[in-house]
Every structure is written in structure tokens, then in C-alpha cells.
Amino acid sequence: MVTRRLISSGSTFEALAGYSRAVVDGNDVFVSGTTGFDYTTMTISSDPVEQTRQCMRNIEQALQAAGCTLDDVVRVRYLITEAALFETLAPVFGEYFGRARPAATAMVVGLVDPRIKVEIEVTARRPRQPDPEFA
């Protein structure tokens, strides 16, 4: 039986724009593009490295709510505002995804808020749970 569950960060923007931080559909977990805003204070650092680390903390929280970790990520998309940022941020990406080594794409884009330098979207696969019938 496939179940669909919505996960929210508590950000009021999710309700305003009509989306969820993450959607769990069966064993698949789709985490929306996630920025470096600290959702408790609704502040964002001007430092792209700190923004990336906060993105990852936000993503980790969504994945945890879905029963996953960063090691379960199978696909990642990095959206950055300047190509020159990639050289600085790639080692940070590697800190978080060095074990999972998901399929990845990096794109240079314009983002909706000029303070945002990086946005990250991931897809994860929840670990298979043993079938209780065969345990």
C-alpha cells in the first residue's frame, strides 16, 4: 500500500506558496528546494558556505521526519547564483554527500531572493523495512 505524507518545516511561506518541505510517497522522499534560512529565526547568513551548511541542516531535518538520513539521498540538485561559487561549495557538498554519492546536477540560476546564494533539492529512498511476515 503506497502512502503519501506531507512534511512541513513550519515556514509560513510553504502555506503561502502551496508546497511542502518534503513529500513521502511510498519509499521515495522528495525534499523541495531548500535554502539557507534558519527557519526558527527566519534569518539567513550572507556567507554562501554557512548558507550551504544551513541548507543541509534543514534538509537533514526533513529527511529525519521522513525516516531517512543524508546517506539515503539518491539525487541532488545544487542551484547556485554564480558559477564561481561552485569551487568554494563543492568541498562542502562532499562533506555531506561523500558516503551517499548521489547522482548530482549543479546549475547557475537566479533565485527569488537576492540574499539566497544556494538552494538544494534532494530525492532520497527510505531504507527498506523488514517484512514482519518474514522476520
Q: How many structural domains is the chain composed of?
A: 1
Q: What is the pLDDT of residues 50-75, one digit of tens each?
A: 999 999 999 999 999 999 999 999 99
Identify the domain containing residue 23 by its residue range: 7-125
d(CA 41, CA 28): 30
d(CA 49, CA 67): 27
User: Judging by beta carbons within 10 Å of its beta carbon (0-12, 13-18, 19+), is residue 86 exposed, middle or buried?
Assistant: middle
Backbone angles phi, psi at 57, to 5 degrees: -60, -40
In a domain, 30, yes or no: yes
d(CA 111, CA 69): 26
Q: State yes or no: pLDDT of 132 exceeds 70.
A: no
In a domain, 40, yes or no: yes
Q: What is the pLDDT of residues 16-36, one digit of tens each?
A: 899 999 999 999 999 999 999
3-state secondary structure of 22: strand
Predicted pLDDT at 14? 85
List the CATH number of the domain containing 109.
3.30.1330.40
In a domain, 90, yes or no: yes
In a domain, 98, yes or no: yes
If you search the block for the grid coordinates 547568513, which residue do you land on?
A: 45
In a domain, 132, yes or no: no
In a domain, 2, yes or no: no
In a domain, 135, yes or no: no
Predicted pLDDT at 130? 53
If you search the block for the grid coordinates 539518491, which residue do you land on?
A: 74
Q: Tell me the whole-structure pTM to 2 decimals.
A: 0.90
In a domain, 15, yes or no: yes
d(CA 79, CA 109): 6
How far from the centroid of its chain's Cα atoms is residue 62's Cα? 7
Percent of the chain whose pLDDT exceeds 90: 81
Q: State yes or no: pLDDT of 133 exceeds 80.
A: no
